[in-house]
Amino acid sequence: MEAFSCVLKSREFPITKFQIIANLPFSIATPLLVKWLQWMAFGTYPFASASSSMEMVLVVQKEVADVDAAVIKFSQKDTRALEIPVLYLSRFSTTIFGQKRKILRSVLEYRLPFLRCRQAFCKELIRQAYDHCSIASELRPQQLSVDQVIQLSTFIYNNKSQFNNKL
């Protein structure tokens, strides 16, 4: 990947549009998606300049040769919709989706070490986040919509300091 990147960057003319089109199993696509989103968030593209148009289209399978698949298309927008740092959202998402069989409440209470607050205060913050985001406490992380994940992570990010002060 690095060698290909050097060749593309050394070209005399700038690359104005770059696309990745692939058919990948989920286990390979997930790290690629995370890396791609980090590149888009920070403008650190390995293949082209920051002014290039970046687009990725993937067919993601559950497992290799498993028919259940989804087509995902990412296109870069001019405006930034997130109110929180991209690295925080990435870490939050990795944390909540790391335990597939757990309900969201358990994952948040026991798997968010970066909250750094006492257990009782973490539980109160999570309860308030559920109320604010209208999320049922018995849901599993994969049952949330993208908007709910962003809303939940934004609420916790914006309100964690009031609980950290209670240490």
Q: Position 152: which residue type?
A: L
* pLDDT tens digits, 13-29: 555 566 666 666 667 76
Domain-wise residue ranges, the chain = 2-75, 86-164
Question: CA-CA distance, 145 to 143, in Å (whole number)?
Answer: 7
| Mean pLDDT of all residues in 41-47 | 64
CATH number for the domain formed by residue range(s) 86-164: 1.10.8.100
The answer to whether residues 163 and 121 touch, using CB atoms and an 8 Å cutoff, is yes
Write down the pTM of the prediction.
Answer: 0.58
